[in-house]
């Protein structure tokens, strides 16, 4: 796959950072610790989520991509992205959540270019409408160059209870970024009633966890709360051979908690409202909205070979991944995830609880299945 070059590179100072971590426990047994969702083709397109993310960003930034992944998945990640070179990868000796991962990329980037702008984009989210995505990122880069911490907030299309929300504030006037707004607050995942209120108000966006910011600004913001972490990250960037030695001292913390929420509370975060289609593929309910309805088995969304599925009157999502025939009969919103060593049967309404199944398996000594 040759890396597409942007036609006119108006974001030459901008690098895309892809944290490729997280197990995707709510997609068990499709997603496993050894083969997390970002490495998998969950859309039936032949591309893993990581490959789709990398390709999408390459249309904007060419090969200015840094993939940050764990040692456990390094080989798989490199194999899936053969068009990238060694400089495109940072390998965490152990998982430390998103802040150390993105922070390390920031520290590496500010050494290359003190004016560097970075954008962090999860390896396992789905985005369509690439033109709209590109336009939003460009606006965000314009604002980031002026020193802002910028996020992309997704215009909600239904009252999701699975996502956090961003309450938007007044417009922020920046030439070249006409959509820019202040952020009033981050809001936790709501209940169904509240989600409907948010949707109807037009004042809330989904928090998609995408941040665009100058590398130096990100590290300076982080330093206000976690100065030691920033020292360590900059030390590693200055002397990469010290990575293994120093990494263990870093706290596990997400970029949301470490930087974005404090910045929002301080009125420092801005947002580009974004109308492209986005999904975090967080659970099987999410997966079922991504897959199209099967032509062969109406009512079902099928991942895998439709010839393996026979349906009579059921609706929902079936992953046919063991080679066996899966028959569904008369159940509404069923979720059947069939893999060679484990089968999950649940319904859409219980999708969020799949995480607890993984915890249960671990607690009963079946880590081999997780």
Shortest distance, position 32 Cβ to its own copies, whole Å: 13
Nearer to its own copies, 137 or 357 (CB): 357
3-state secondary structure at position 36: coil
Report yes or no: 255 and 99 within 8 Å, Cβ to Cβ: yes
Secondary element (H or E) of residue 165? strand 165-171
Binders of its own copies among 27-66, rule CB under 8 A?
Answer: 29
Shortest distance, position 179 Cβ to its own copies, whole Å: 41
Nearer to its own copies, 115 or 359 (CB): 359
> With contacts defined by CB under 8 A, how many residues of the chain interact with its own copies?
37
Nearer to its own copies, 277 or 361 (CB): 361
Between 297 and 336, how does the x/- string for binding to its own copies read (CB under 8 A)?
-------------x-xxx-------x-xxxxxxxx--x-x
Report yes or no: 203 and 194 within 8 Å, Cβ to Cβ: no
Secondary element (H or E) of residue 319? strand 316-320
Shortest distance, position 291 Cβ to its own copies, whole Å: 18
Binders of its own copies among 224-243, rule CB under 8 A?
Answer: none
Shortest distance, position 355 Cβ to its own copies, whole Å: 10
Binders of its own copies among 345-364, rule CB under 8 A?
Answer: 345-347, 349-350, 353-354, 356-357, 360-361, 364
State how far the Cα of 243 lies from the Cα of 180, in Å rounded to an integer.
37
What tokens does 178 get?
A: 């006409």
Total residue length of the chain:
370
Shortest distance, position 310 Cβ to its own copies, whole Å: 6
3-state secondary structure at position 166: strand
CA distances from 9 to 57, 64, 97, 116, 215 (A): 13, 11, 32, 14, 19
What tokens does 353 get?
A: 């609880």
Shortest distance, position 195 Cβ to its own copies, whole Å: 21
Nearer to its own copies, 91 or 302 (CB): 302
**Pick from 266, 292, 340, 367: which binds its own copies (CB under 8 A)?**
340
Report yes or no: 80 and 39 within 8 Å, Cβ to Cβ: yes
Shortest distance, position 99 Cβ to its own copies, whole Å: 32
Report yes or no: 259 and 98 within 8 Å, Cβ to Cβ: no
Nearer to its own copies, 119 or 316 (CB): 316
What is the torsion angle, in degrees rounded to the nearest 10, for the CA atoms of residue 272, residue 278, residue 284 and residue 288?
Answer: 140
Site residues, its own copies (CB under 8 A)? 29, 310, 312-314, 322, 324-331, 334, 336, 338-347, 349-350, 353-354, 356-357, 360-361, 364, 366, 369
């Amino acid at each position: 796959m040759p890396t597409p070059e942007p036609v006119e590179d108006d974001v030459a100072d901008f690098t895309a950072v892809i944290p490729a971590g997280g197990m995707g426990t709510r997609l068990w047994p499709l997603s496993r610790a050894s083969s997390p969702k970002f490495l998998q083709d969950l859309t039936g397109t032949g591309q893993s989520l990581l490959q789709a993310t990398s390709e999408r960003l390459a249309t904007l930034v060419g090969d200015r991509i840094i993939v940050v992944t764990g040692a456990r998945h390094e080989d798989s990640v490199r194999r899936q992205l053969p068009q990238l070179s060694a400089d495109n990868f940072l390998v965490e000796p152990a998982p430390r959540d998103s802040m150390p991962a993105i922070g390390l990329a920031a520290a590496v980037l500010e050494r290359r270019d003190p004016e560097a702008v970075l954008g962090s984009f999860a390896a396992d989210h789905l985005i369509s409408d690439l033109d709209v995505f590109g336009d939003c990122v460009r606006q965000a880069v314009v604002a980031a160059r002026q020193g802002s911490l910028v996020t992309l907030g997704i215009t909600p299309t239904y009252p999701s209870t699975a996502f956090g929300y961003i309450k938007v504030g007044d417009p922020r006037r920046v030439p070249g970024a006409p959509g820019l707004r202040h952020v009033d607050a981050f809001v936790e995942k709501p209940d169904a009633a509240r989600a409907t209120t948010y949707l109807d108000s037009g004042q809330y966006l989904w928090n998609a966890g995408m941040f665009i910011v100058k590398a130096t600004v990100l590290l300076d913001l982080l330093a206000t709360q976690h100065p030691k972490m920033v020292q360590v990250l900059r030390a590693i960037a200055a002397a990469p051979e010290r990575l293994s030695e120093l990494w263990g001292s870093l706290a596990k913390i997400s970029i949301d908690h470490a930087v974005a929420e404090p910045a929002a509370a301080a009125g420092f975060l801005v947002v580009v409202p974004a109308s492209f289609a986005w999904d975090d593929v967080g659970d099987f309910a999410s997966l079922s909205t991504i897959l199209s309805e099967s032509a062969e088995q109406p009512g079902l969304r099928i991942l895998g070979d439709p010839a393996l599925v026979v349906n009579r009157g059921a609706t929902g999502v079936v992953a046919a991944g063991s080679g066996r025939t899966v028959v569904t009969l008369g159940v509404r919103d069923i979720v059947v995830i069939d893999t060679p060593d484990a089968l999950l049967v649940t319904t859409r309404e219980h999708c969020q609880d799949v995480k607890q199944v993984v915890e249960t398996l671990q607690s009963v000594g079946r880590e081999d299945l997780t």
